[in-house]
Amino acid sequence: MGSNDRIGQIFGLDSNIGDLPDGDRKAIRGWCYYDWAKSAFETSIVVAILPVYFVTLFQHAYGSELSLAGFTFTGDSMWAWATFLSAIIIALVGPGMGVIADRAEIKMKLTKYLTWAGAGATVLLAGAYFLSSHWGFIWLFVFYVLANMGLLSATIFYNAMLPYLGERASADYQVAHRGGPVQMDDISNRAFAYGYFGGGILLAIHLAMVSILVDADGNLLGWVVPVALASSGLWWYGFALITINWVPEPPIPDPVRDLTFGSATRLALTEVRKTLGEVSRFRVLALYIVAYFFFIDGINSVTSLAGAFGAGVLGIPLVLNMAVILLVQFVAAPSAMLFTRLAGSTSTRTALTVALVGWIVVIFGAVGFAPLELAEHEEYDFQLDWDESGYEVTALSSVSLGDSDVDRAFKAEWGDILPLDVEGEIDADATGSASETRATAFLAVIDGDGRFSASASGGLLDGKTALGEDHPTSLGDGAIDAFPSFLRDYLWAPLGFGISLQWLFLGLMAGTLLGGSQGLARSIFGQMVPQTRSAEFFGFFGFFGRIAAFLGPLIYVVVTGIFDSRTAVLSLGVLVVIGAVLLQRIDVAEGIRVAHAEDERKRGSAE
């Protein structure tokens, strides 16, 4: 990359590709900038900001749960449902899109158009701000589905460019395979390093916005989150222009000219059937796709659902979630390069196995995360303090009521004692009052199936507390709540590890593993893919990735509905275990040999 690759210089990345011609190095740098661009969506939209905003708006519109067609949804399971819908649509069309791109020189053109669509839908997420909580939630749901579809489909063609970069981009077959696995590991993980760095910079800007742009009471101004969402779309589109302008469309042998939509669809279906019929010729690659299906399902589902799980189950606030994800970004970038060096000193498969074992520990450990039990009077959502005339009622600044039927009924019943402002909203600076009788009844209601907590100090109710079943600190009702309860009593509480430190620990571990696992997984596949059929096979790679992308959230939705969210996370960890076991059966050298043989056959037939 030479002196022009500032990001590469930060992580010392020039060793494997520094001798390439200037044009090749510029193309690699341009390709990496697409990771920089789209990471704004993957970071701020998928993980850091939108999940918390999405769950909050759901709770304001519907309360803790929503029953539809006899099935119960929570905010985090509804987020999983939106992710499922976008992924299943792309899973169905991905292989055909890849085949078409292999037979016509349109990889970059489709990347451009799909980026327009995805980034545009991302900007439109901000429109939810102008609607009621009910319609705003529906707006967020629809445009998140559309934006995620744009990202997933554009990534198919972006990934398909990998075999054409570096020395494999050469028209000379011997030169094209001289770079080998080490160079492809370098390029693939380099792109992830760009992505973590670029996404981290924008997230740092967003974190500064939500920390500084607050009102006199310290509450976030309502327009800040919508502006942050819209800026993610602009960032994605703006930096994608570098990729569009710097990366040339790779030439392909015997391209099909003047494809119409109908003929392209028929060609895609024909080629997909042909590829499926050739599975026996690519046994190693086929087995790897199955292994990839399982482990990437677990990893991607955990990363895409973590923000919603944290907000809906653990009560992680927006600023904390953003701060931890920012940490992930800047830990993941150098860690991706460390895994590249580990792959060079051992093998790509060994390095990926180490990353997967780490993920198994992280996921199973996350099931045991739990906020510490409320210990002080001031920690409860509602605080009832005795004075001479009764109980003075105050609330934490984080407490709010939405437009759901449950919240409206709660406000109607207890509005006479709640600390409300002039607009009838709960205000941390306001004060309500309750008689001893009303205070007793209020504590009894809070101790039911709601999401709030309350504590009384002084008077006859001195020391009385109440905790709703849906409060983040409430454990005991879930299928596996004994595990987090045990860890809270014997690990988190003795160490003084509150949920903030637990979430921070998760971020450090995930950041260390994320770049290496994703980059090496893509690199192994790229090594075993024939260059002459890259988009076709990356279409299938994307197909299984998209199946994983929709099955993971679907599993989460179903398991949450039957059991609870913690059990759903545990089920995702089992998928990573299965993938890691299957990975041990992959003979990467044999897969590369088969890919070379297929390229020789295709190039020979084209002459």
* Run of H or E residues at 580: helix 565-583
Q: Do 203 and 88 belong to one domain?
A: yes
Closest among 391, 393, 288 to 349, alpha carbons compared: 288
Task: Say how many Å lie between the first and final Cα of the chain, rounded.
Answer: 33
Closest among 135, 152, 127, 171 to 41, alpha carbons compared: 152
Closest among 140, 113, 159 to 46, alpha carbons compared: 140
- Give the pLDDT score at 17: 61
Cross-sheet strand order for the sheet of 390-395: 432-434, 390-395, 382-387, 453-457, 465-467
Q: Do 317 and 417 belong to one domain?
A: no
- For 57-93, write each residue's pLDDT tens digit: 998 888 877 887 777 788 888 998 998 898 888 877 7
CB 439 within 8 A of CB 454: no
Low-confidence stretches of the chain (pLDDT beneath 50) = 1-3, 169-180
Residue 195 falls within a domain, yes or no? yes
Q: How far apart are CA 331 and CA 337, in angstroms?
A: 11
- Give the pLDDT score at 606: 52
Hey, what amino acid is at 291?
A
- Give the pLDDT score at 177: 38
Q: Do 406 and 535 belong to one domain?
A: no
Tokens encoding 98: 């890849």
Tokens encoding 173: 């077959």
125, 129, 130, 131 alpha-carbon torsion, rounded to 10° = 90
Q: Do 216 and 96 belong to one domain?
A: yes
b/e sequence 502-534, b meaning 16+ C-beta within 10 Å: bbbbbbebbbbbbbbbbbbbbbbbbbbbbbbbb
- Give the pLDDT score at 201: 92
Q: Do 396 and 329 belong to one domain?
A: no
Tokens encoding 280: 């026996």
Residue 263 falls within a domain, yes or no? yes
**Domain-terminating residue out of 432, 467, 502:** 467
* Run of H or E residues at 455: strand 453-457
Residue 367 falls within a domain, yes or no? no
Q: Which residues span the domain enclosing 448?
A: 377-467
Q: Do 64 and 124 belong to one domain?
A: yes
Q: How far apart are CA 414 and CA 44, in angstroms?
A: 37
Q: Do 420 and 304 belong to one domain?
A: no
pTM of the complete model: 0.77
Q: Do 108 and 234 belong to one domain?
A: yes
- Give the pLDDT score at 410: 92
Instruction: Assign residue 40 the CATH number of its domain.
Output: 1.20.1250
Q: How far apart are CA 245 and CA 225, in angstroms?
A: 31
Residue 22, Cβ density class (10 Å: 0-12 exposed, 13-18 middle, ≥19 buried): exposed
Half-sphere exposure of 404 (CA within 13 A, CB side): 21
Q: Do 66 and 195 belong to one domain?
A: yes
Closest among 47, 547, 583, 83 to 332, alpha carbons compared: 47
Q: Which residues, in sequence order, are CB contacts of 122 under 8 Å at separation 6+?
A: 41, 45, 143, 147, 150, 229, 230, 232, 233, 236
- Give the pLDDT score at 179: 44
Residue 520 falls within a domain, yes or no? yes
Q: Do 334 and 381 belong to one domain?
A: no
Closest among 485, 492, 493 to 506, alpha carbons compared: 492
Residue 125 falls within a domain, yes or no? yes
Q: Do 273 and 140 belong to one domain?
A: yes
Residue 424 falls within a domain, yes or no? yes
The strand pair at 382-387 and 453-457 is best described as: parallel
Tokens encoding 250: 């790779």
- Give the pLDDT score at 271: 67
Closest among 300, 263, 245 to 103, alpha carbons compared: 263
CB 283 within 8 A of CB 539: no
CB 596 within 8 A of CB 177: yes
CB 91 within 8 A of CB 259: no
- Give the pLDDT score at 455: 96
- Give the pLDDT score at 125: 97
Q: How many separate domains does the chain show?
A: 2
Cβ of 291: how many Cβ atoms within 10 Å?
Answer: 23
Q: Do 145 and 203 belong to one domain?
A: yes
CB 503 within 8 A of CB 369: yes
Residue 568 falls within a domain, yes or no? no
**Domain-terminating residue out of 467, 498, 531:** 467
What is the sign of the dihedral through the CA atoms of 195, 197, 203 and 205? negative
Residue 473 falls within a domain, yes or no? no
CB 499 within 8 A of CB 315: yes
